[in-house]
Structure formats: structure tokens, C-alpha cells
Chains A and B, each alone.
Chain A
Amino acid sequence: MRIPIYLTSLLLAFSCAPKASSEENTLAQISDPAVMQYAIPGKALYESHCGNCHQANGEGLAKLIPPIRDADYFKASIPRTAWIIRHGQTGEINVNGEKYNQAMPPNPNLKPLEIAQITTYLYNIWGMEEGVISGNDIESYLKNRPDSY
């Protein structure tokens, strides 16, 4: 009668385990070590600078704050996203067919490398795999206001 004891120990071992799905642990969705190097600080920066409004899960807030996750507007342009993080945004935008019109404040203190870490994180989770977005990439994106802004 060894098997039942073995089974019950297994049951005990798992019964209190916290939910550690890759749904919540977004970093677990990344396999490229170069991306991971950017994404780890990127996740912390996202959660402290962006997460209050866009939420840690990227879903935004009702019809006030647009989602980032699975959002056509977000996916459409990395340079525009970098520009918006730095300069903020006002006026109406359309995200997934829904209109949003809540001002986003600028983040003048975020350095290009930090914006690179945030964007690398966000563009390599939730089903996206854009690879590393470097500090140099961000510096060049921030030189010119994007057409679609």
C-alpha cells in the first residue's frame, strides 16, 4: 500500500502552491536571454511607471484607459509607443474599435535605455515576440515625431 501515501504526499505538496501560471508571471513567456536581460528591469519599470493606469495585466481601465495587451493601437508602431511614453498623449484615439480620450502624462525622466527595457518587455509578452528594442533604437525613435502621433 505504498502508492496511496505517495499520492497523498503529492496532493499535500500541491494543495497550497500559489498560482504561478505564465498568465501572471509574464517573464515566463520569454525564452531569449538577451530579451530577458531587458525585460526584467522593464517589468519593474512598467509596473511602477505605467501599471497604475494600464494595470499590471495590460488591460487598462474600462473605457477610461486603453489596454496595451492585445491592442491594435499598441501593436501598430513601436516608434510611436516610445514617443508616447516619453511625451505623453492627449486627444481621442481609437483602440480595438473603442474611443478613448484621457490624457496620458509625459515621462521626461525616463532615459532611452529605460524606455527600451519597458518596450522590450511589453513587445515580447502576451503573444508578441519583437526581440530586443535597444537604447539606440529608442534614441532614434525619439528624434522625430511619428506621423501617426
Chain B
Amino acid sequence: MKTPSIFLGLVLLGAISCKPASENSIGSSELPILGERYADENQDTVYHEIADFAFVNQMGDTVTKADMAGKIYVADFFFTSCPTICPIMKKEMLRVYEDYKSDPNFKILSHSLDPTFDTQAVLKDYAEKLGVSDASTWNFLTGDQEKIFEIGQTSYLTTAMADQLEPGGFLHSGAFLLVDGNGRIRGVYDGTKSDQVDRLISDIPKLLEK
């Protein structure tokens, strides 16, 4: 009776053939440190790090780089009146939020590119309508527009600027940036693509568990 063993073999093959290739090695789970790096006078590597910042969240509280020390966070750039990619980014970010909002070491920083219009009150209303009732995890940030553009371009290495030719008046990428407890960028994901956000969701625990 050879057939039953062939049958079993085929069933087994069928069962494993759909497994994604990325899941099978634990060794590759280490996330890279992104951005420019250089060796200092002691030949120690100095990695690219998010610069100091101080912005105001939707509750009116100031959020600084020091507040983020030791926290894993995802950063993005948007504005509430954005007619293009922001809603889809927020839909995707909601998935990240739902998965990790109960972890006190996880945060989300969504920076407004239009802080003159996106005041604290506007951001609070926007967050509430999105279903985010407090700022314990997800901070919607406003502040000095030049500072927000600057940190977007130079710290988060993403596109964030005013551009009158763009719908809504701002040019920005849909990037989600994963930042570790030392202020280093550990991943860049397209926040408009659900498969990339799936990857972000599976990458977050690799930093949280450390």
C-alpha cells in the first residue's frame, strides 16, 4: 500500500506550500539601523539619530525627544485637510494603534504639516473622530511649521514641505518610520500599502521585546 503515504505526503506539501518565506528564520529578525553613520575619534560608530524636538499634542501637552527615550514609536506626517493620501495612511495607522495601544512602551507621533490650521483643538477633534480618545499612545502633533518640516527632512529623512502645486498645498511622502528607544530609525514603510504596514506590525515586537 504505497498510495496512502503519497497521499499523506501531498497533504503535508499542500499544508506548508503557502507559508510565507520570511517567517522561517529567527536570525533575520534583527532590524537594521538606517541613515548616515560615521566613526568618531575613538573609532566608535555614531549612528543617525532623531534630533531634539518639542511639539504640542492634541491634549495641549508638550511632547519632547526626552519623553520618547526608551520608547518604540512610529512617526508620520499628515494634515487634517489633506485630500490625497492621509486618510488611507490614518486607516493603516489605526491598525498599528489597535494592535499596540495597550503597550506603555509603544507610541505613535503624527506630525501636522499644516500646524497653522491644525491647532490643538482641530487635532483633538480629528483624533476623537478617528476613535483615539486620549494621547496615551497616539500623539497628533502641532508646532512651529519650520521645525516640523526640518525634523521631517533631516531627522526622519522623509519628504515634508510646502508646495502650492500639490493638492492641499503640501508635498509629503506616506512613510511610516519605526524609531527605537535610542532615537534611531529601524524601518521605513509605505503607510498607504497594507502589505508594508503588515510588515511594520510584525517588526514592532522585535524592538519592544528588547
Partner-B contacts on A (CB < 8 A): 1, 4-5, 8-9, 11-12, 15-16, 51-53, 55, 61-65, 102-105
Contacts and interface: CB of A to CB of B under 8 A. Distances in A.
Contacts of B15: 15
Q: Which among B83, B86, B126 has the greatest number of chain A C-beta atoms within 10 A?
A: B83
Interface size class on chain B is 20 to 34
Contacts of B104: none
A134 B69 CA distance: 59
Main SS at interface, chain A: mixed
B87 A5 contact: no
Contacts of A11: 10-11, 14
A8 B14 contact: yes
B130 A52 contact: no
B32 interface: no
Interface in B79-103: 81, 83-88, 90-91, 94
A103 B81 contact: yes
A19 B82 CA distance: 32
B18 A12 contact: no
12 contacts: A5-B3, A8-B7, A9-B10, A12-B13, A15-B15, A55-B88, A55-B91, A61-B90, A61-B130, A62-B130, A62-B131, A105-B168
B18 A15 contact: yes
Given A8-B7, A63-B129, A102-B129, 11 more contacts: A1-B4, A5-B6, A8-B10, A11-B14, A12-B17, A52-B85, A62-B130, A64-B126, A64-B129, A64-B130, A105-B83
Contacts of A16: 17-18
Nearest to A1: B3
Given A12-B10, A15-B17, A61 B91 contact: yes
B79 to A, nearest CB: 12
Nearest to A8: B10
Contacts of B11: 8, 11
A61 B14 contact: no
Nearest to A103: B81
Interface string B47-86: 0000000000000000000000000000000000101111
Contacts of A62: 94, 129-131
Contact of A5 (B7, B86, B94): B7
A62 B131 CA distance: 7
